[in-house]
Structure 1
Amino acid sequence: MATINHFEYGWITPALSYALSVLGSFLGLICAGRIRTAHTGGQRAWWGILAAWAIGGTAIWTMHFMAMLGFGVEGTRIRYDVPLTVASAVTAVAAVGIGLAIVGTGRLSAVRIIVGGVFTGAGVAAMHYTGMAAMRLNGDLVYDRTRVVLSVAIAVAAATVALWLAVTVRRLLALVGSALVMGVAVNGMHFTGMSALSVHLHDRQGRLSGAGVSTLLVPIVLAVIFVVVGLVYALLAAPTEEDRAGAAYLDTRREPFPATAEPGTPPDPAGLRAHSARTTLGQPGGTPFPRRRDDSPR
C-alpha cells in the first residue's frame, strides 16, 4: 500500500481550489438568475450556457484539477491521459447545463429541482471519477465503496442546493453567501472521494504515458482567465431589469408627432408647424402673423 499525500504543497492548493469554486459559483449563480428573467428562448439558452461554464467548468472541474496538483503518491510519478481529462471537463459542464435546463424552464417546482439535482450530482460524480481514471501511475487504484457512495450523495445534495439557489437567490449578499456554501460543498465532495482512494504500487516501474501536470497547467489557467473575463464582460454588458424599466419609462415620456400631419411631412420636433397653425387661425389668406389695428381700411 503506497503512501498518499493530498497536500504536497501545503495549504496553497486547497486554498486555490476553494477560491476557484467560490468564484465560479458566484458568477454561475448570477448567470443562472438571468435564465428565468430572460424574455426569449435564445436569451435563456445563452445565460444557461454561461452558467454551465461557470459552475461546471470553473467551480467544479477547475477546482478538481487544482486540488489534484497537491495530490502525490510516494514511489511513483503521476501523469494524465489528455482525452479522458477533457472528457471529464465536458461531463461537468454538460451535467450542470442539463440540470439548469430542467429547473430553468417551465414552472418551478420541488420535483424539478430534485430531478435536476440528482442528474447534475451524478454528472459531477462521474466527472470526478473520470478525472481520477485519467491518472497514469505505476500502481493500481482501489476505492472504498462506502466512501464512494458517500461522495456521490454529497455531490447530489450539493447539486440540488446549487440549482435551488440558482433560481431563487437574487441579492448580492445572498449570492456571496451561497457561493461560499457551494465552495464548501464542492470541495467536500472532492476530498471525500479522494479519501476513498488507495494505491497498490507495481513491483516494476514502467514508462508512463500521458501529459504531466506542468503541461496541462498552462492551458487550464489560460482557459480559466478567458472564461472569467468573458463572463464578467457578458454580465456587465447585459441590460438589467432596471435598465429595461428605465428605457420603457423614457418611451412613455416621448411625445408622438401630431396626428394631423400628412404622410410624407418631415418631423417638426420644435413645434413650429403647430405654432404656425395657431397664429393663422381666423386670419384671411392664411397670413402667419396677426393683422395690426392700423392696417384696417379707413
Structure 2
Amino acid sequence: MDALEPELEKILDFEQYGTLTPIAQDDGVNPLAKINYSKEYEQGMAYFRALAAKQEYSIRAFNLTCFLIMHNPAHYTVWAYRFQVLNHIPELIPQELAWLDSVIEDFQKNYQVWHHRQKLLGITKDYKHELEFTKDMFASDAKNYHVWSYRLWILQSFQDYTEELSLTSYLLEDDVYNNSAWNHRFYVLFESNAKLERSLQDELDFLNDKLSKSPDNQSAWNYLSGILKKVGPNQLGGIANQLEKQLPSSNRFLLEFLAEYDPTRSKVIYEKLANEVDTDNQLLWNWMIQQVPRT
C-alpha cells in the first residue's frame, strides 16, 4: 500500500499503539462496478478492517472512525464500531455528544447519526438535553423527519410530554402549515399516554383560530378530521357550526369536513363539490356520491 497520508499516520500512531497490517477491500477478480474511493478513505478503511479484525477498542480506533465518518457519514458499520469503542471507553461519551452537536448540520438528514444518538441516550439517560437539542434543530428545519422521529422516540421512551403543546403551538404560530407539527400535536393529545391538562374545548378553540386565519390549510383540516374520528360528531357541533358561519360556503375543505361530520348531508355536499366548487375533481366527487349509503 502507498505511504500513509499524514492525517492517518497521526491517528494510527504506530509508535504508541503498535503496527497494523492493513486489510484491503476484496472486490473480486473482475468487479462489475468498482468504486473509485479517495486515497485517504481507501487507506483508512484498510486499517479499520485491521482494527476490527483484532477487536481493538482504543483511542486510535475512535479517532479513525471519526476520520472515516467525515469522509462517508452513511457508513453504518463504522458508526456501529464507534459505539462499541464508546462502550469500552465511556469517559469519551461527553466528548462524543459535543462532537455530534458540532457536526449535526452536515449530517442532519443522515439515518446513522440519529441512530447513534439514540443508542448513546440509552446509556446517558439525559433525555432533557436531547429534547432541547431537537428543539434547537427545528430552528433550522422545522419539518426535518429525522428530528421529529428522534424526538418522538425520546418521548415514548421517557414518557415526558410536558413541553410538547408549547413546542407545537410555537411552531404553528411560526408556520401554520407545518404538517409535522400538526401530526406531532395530534399524537401527543389523542394517541399517546400523555396526561396533559388540556380540555377538548380548549383544543377546538385553538384549531378554530388557526382555521379562521388559514381556511385553505389542509393540515389543520386533517387534524380536525382526526379529532372527529377519535371523539365522534356529538362533541364537535360547536366548531362545525362556527366554521360554517365563518367561512365561505364554497370552501372545499369545509365542505369535505361537513360531509364527513354529517353523513345525512354527504350526497348533497358531494354534488355541490362535483358541479360547482371543485369541478376539476368531478370524477372523485361523483365516485364519493356512489359511496354514500342509500336510505
- Bigger relative CO (Cα 8 Å, ≥ 6 apart): 1
The TM-score range, normalised by the shorter chain, is under 0.3
Bigger share in helix: 2
Bigger share in strand: 1
Instruction: Tell me which structure has the larger Cα radius of gyration.
Output: 1
